[in-house]
Structure 1
Amino acid sequence: YLQKNSEVIKPIRLIGQSKRQNDKGFSQKKQWEAVSSFKSGFRNVLIATQVGEEGLDITSTDAVVFFDNTSSAIRFIQRKGRTGRIKTGKVYILYFRNTRDESYLWAAMRKEKKLKKFLREISSAGGSSIYPSLLEFTNLHKKEFSSEVKIIIDYRELKSQVASELKKLGVALIPTNLSIGDYIISEKVCIERKTAGDFSKSIVDNRLFDQIRALKSAYESPILLIEGESLYLTGVDAKAVRGALITIAVDYGLPILWSRSAIETALLLRRMAIREQREKGVRMRIRAEKKPPTLYEQQLYLVSGLPGIERKLAERLLRKFSTPQKVFTASQQELVEVEGIGKQKANQIRKTLTTPFKPESNSN
């Protein structure tokens, strides 16, 4: 449109050699012609993909415009380096607030600042007398220099958009088969990620609380992360959804984080990784095995085996009668005194505890 309708702006494209759906890509000759026409002034605007970030023999331009952003400090510096070589130039960066673009921008600026600090240290140290090469310097200061954080990811999550967004954010992913959780941030923090639809399905097929118990038993700070706009548009009864959320938060004491999209999930995971690995220095470790249950957990498990008794009621019974033995010997009238246990449930408990065991005919 500009080529045909503007007398002031005379643009030309510069793209890579890869073929796209509706674009054949540029040959090396065509790329050279595009750069030459821009250098000569025949074209005064060069619209380039990543191929324009480095290796261009253009001495100076008046301005550079970032249409999108990168979290890489090197690419950020290379882009800016297209201007200001001979005379002062300007850089314009386009982004929307509270989006991935803004996160990439701040990440790149922080890394650039850190890189400049390291280069100043090299200079003040007298260059090669102390640090024979930049590579040796960065190896000596690997922890400070590296901006990369690592996250252990379950193989089943690798094809998700979350994994794709984490890679764009510069997170190193370590794929493995996880028996518990989807993402491991540190030896303390493990995240079970569920979309709104999967959360509802896991209530119906009874997977949810098994997964929550496994998380709680294996990690010190497990987290359930729910991703989606709403949990109440999945066809599952809203009361059941609310009940599950309350049970997870109150009975299991498990934190629940909410994310609206895969991008938001990736940003949350990356921030947690930075906090655990860099700021707190906690190492990563897979805990596939459950911790030995405490006496408290064993008692709850034992009482929860009674008919109609879930964890919350089991805790009330133990608070009332002190020991599992006293729960099992309590009368029907005493059981009814516990909140949440009516006559019918109390009768069923007593029947289960007092009826002589009779093996079923088809049992071994």
Structure 2
Amino acid sequence: EERAVADRLRRQGYLADTGHLTAAMLDNAQRKASASIARRDRRGYEAARSVSDLRRLHLLLDLLRCQGMEVAKAFLDRQAAKSGDDRKKAGRLLDRPAVRQLRDSLDVTAELHPKPHAVERLLEARHREKTDTKTLVFTEYRDTVDRLVERLSLSEHLSPIPFVGQSKTGERRGMTQKEQVAQIDAFRRGEANVLIATSVGEEGLDIPAADLVVFYEPVASAVRAIQRRGRTGRHADGEVVMLVAEGTRDAHMLRASASRERRMMEHLRRLGRTRRLHEFGVEADPLAAFEVNTEDTTIAASRFVEEERARLRPTAVEPEPEPQAPAVEKSTPRPGTVRPEERRHPEQASLFGWEKPAQEPKPGQRPEAKRRDAPLVLDGRANTRAIDAMGAMEIILDRREASSTLAAGLRARGIKPVFRHLVTGDVRIGPRLLLERKTAKDLHASVRDGRLLSQVRRLAAAAPRAGLLLETGSGLEGATHPNAVHGALAWMAFDLGVSVICVKNAEESAAFLALAARRELAWLDALENAQPTKPEDDVHRALMAAQHALEEEDRLGGMNERWTSASRRRRTALLEAIDGVGPITAAALAESFESIAALANASAEDLASESGIGAARAAEVHRALHG
């Protein structure tokens, strides 16, 4: 059930195309469905319902795998008790055939999960050996708290009490602060020796130290794990036990928590080795430990600096007055007077007399236009075969595009995308085309942080034909100044020769990529057809000639003649066994037809014309063969 719903969401482009499922992926799918609804896309409503159903199925499976059958049964019972709008959502889960069958099985089957039994055996043994032992059990779910309290209360050595938060979930209310304090006091006084708590018991409350802390399941947060472990070993040695169901979410949580805790401890160690700025002392005279050797003597560095400052200090000098040049009277020409340098040369006939005469073009043949052996393909529909889902032309998408709706758009157009790790670019089509896909928001962010320059340079160097597929949405407006964005696009197009293709959204991107793929395939076909046929290789011709000579020798040899005669005699003997066929007729038929099968498939007219036995005799033979 879970796999079927998840596959449907993956085909629609709402869920990442991966082999696993996490809560973060479900949240991302829910956001995409909400965005589709905001765009008035009807598919968004169906996707939102599917995500809601998938979330409940995923939680149910996690409870079965990591918590136990009784906890899963309690979850289903609470779903059945809901009313109103929640009842409609829960009804879709409960009406599934697999879930109905599971509920029937849980009603008649005892607990099979090993965790509840392991907790019961562990606490029973510890409290039997040491009666004053205090145990703290942490779990994520209130249903698990209730089931453990019921199970452990049956033991004479254990007196468990619950400890949950104050929030109310549906019809179930939490504990008030007064009730929480009462439970802690009972655990401190020894009235209860087992405190089963949710995450509310990790911090913020004065819970007494315990001798044993049990993790019913691992937690991914390193801080939470440390806080839980810190509830034991305060005044004496304590013990921590963590329960992990192999091959489930528990194993992933354990690895994540251990990795994060290692990184946190390494960071703390680095901080411990790092000295703060105030820890570095500042000496009164930093040059006291240095000396300067001059030609005559050796002096302290601080004294040398003072002497050099005094020597190089500039002195005030009064500027000398600049000599004034004698005034020169400028002669102003009278109106109508022309100076000699302004006079026209006697050989100049006009204002344009000094220009070079235009050279007339020499008569000659016009250059021939470039021949094109193959027609130009504009839309990919001419002289090309369609791209099917098996990928006659592959469209390779980077793995980061697995969570986008682009893959779903390509599948809707009959193209199955192939996800691979692309070092440069997001989409590759054939050996020539490489595209970087960006939204308007991504473009503004790339311009601001300077990533765009290096990205486009790598893109232009990685493929013969590079391009930027820009999804503008409602426009290119953003937080960056328009001049910066337009300048970046102009630099890409004119300086680097990178094509800039603007589309509206992912759907138009899919349509453009499908068309580009068909056009590229047509180009490859035209290029292949335009290649001149290569002459046969000399060695290949020699081998073919030798093979032909051997076949001819076998055909004309004596052994071949003996095989042919023997086959003819066998055919004649078989034909003579047929009623109405004599030796002469059988010999004529065996000579004319190479096999009995060829003779049986021939018509009466063919028998007469090929063997010359006559039409009447041929009709009799045909009736004898076919009845």
Which TM-score band applies after superposition, normalised by the shorter structure?
A: 0.3 to 0.5
The higher radius of gyration belongs to 2
Tell me which of the two structures has the higher relative contact order, counting C-alpha pairs closer than 8 angstroms and 6 or more residues apart.
1
TM-score (norm 1): 0.43
The structure with the largest helix share of the pair is 2
